[in-house]
Amino acid sequence: MPLFQQWLEPLRDLGATMVTGRGDCGGDCAIFDHVGIPTPSFKQDPLDYDSRTHHTNADLYEHLVPDDLKQAAVVVATLIFETAVHDEMLPRHK
């Protein structure tokens, strides 16, 4: 995670200050974690994450927060770019 933290440093002014290893992924990233590929987890403000509508048919577009989506897009794109241009493979866990 130190490498991800280093890449996040220039994004502090956007509020991106923490990334951790994802040890609890049961979704899309699980296959990567099983073969040792780092799967960072971004910690976000919970907002309505635990609401009764989250991941239901009532979880509609109207619940999106445009500024949060823009911030998240910049953060994710930055880490993808840094990973792509990194001279070495990312360290694997065992």
**List of residues 6+ apart from 87 with CB closer than 8 A:** none
Other C-beta atoms closer than 10 Å to the C-beta of 2 total 7
* Contact present, 46 and 63 (Cβ < 8 Å): no
Tokens at 3, concatenated: 């490498």
Q: What is the pLDDT of residue 13?
A: 93
User: Tens-digit pLDDT profile for the chain (94 aa)?
Assistant: 788 889 989 999 998 887 776 666 656 777 777 787 777 776 666 666 667 777 788 888 887 889 988 998 998 899 889 989 999 887 776 6
Q: What is the pLDDT of residue 35?
A: 81
Global confidence as pTM: 0.73
Alpha-carbon span 24 to 10, nearest angstrom: 27
Q: What is the pLDDT of residue 94?
A: 61
Instruction: Tell me the CB-side half-sphere exposure of residue 81, using CA atoms within 13 A.
Output: 8
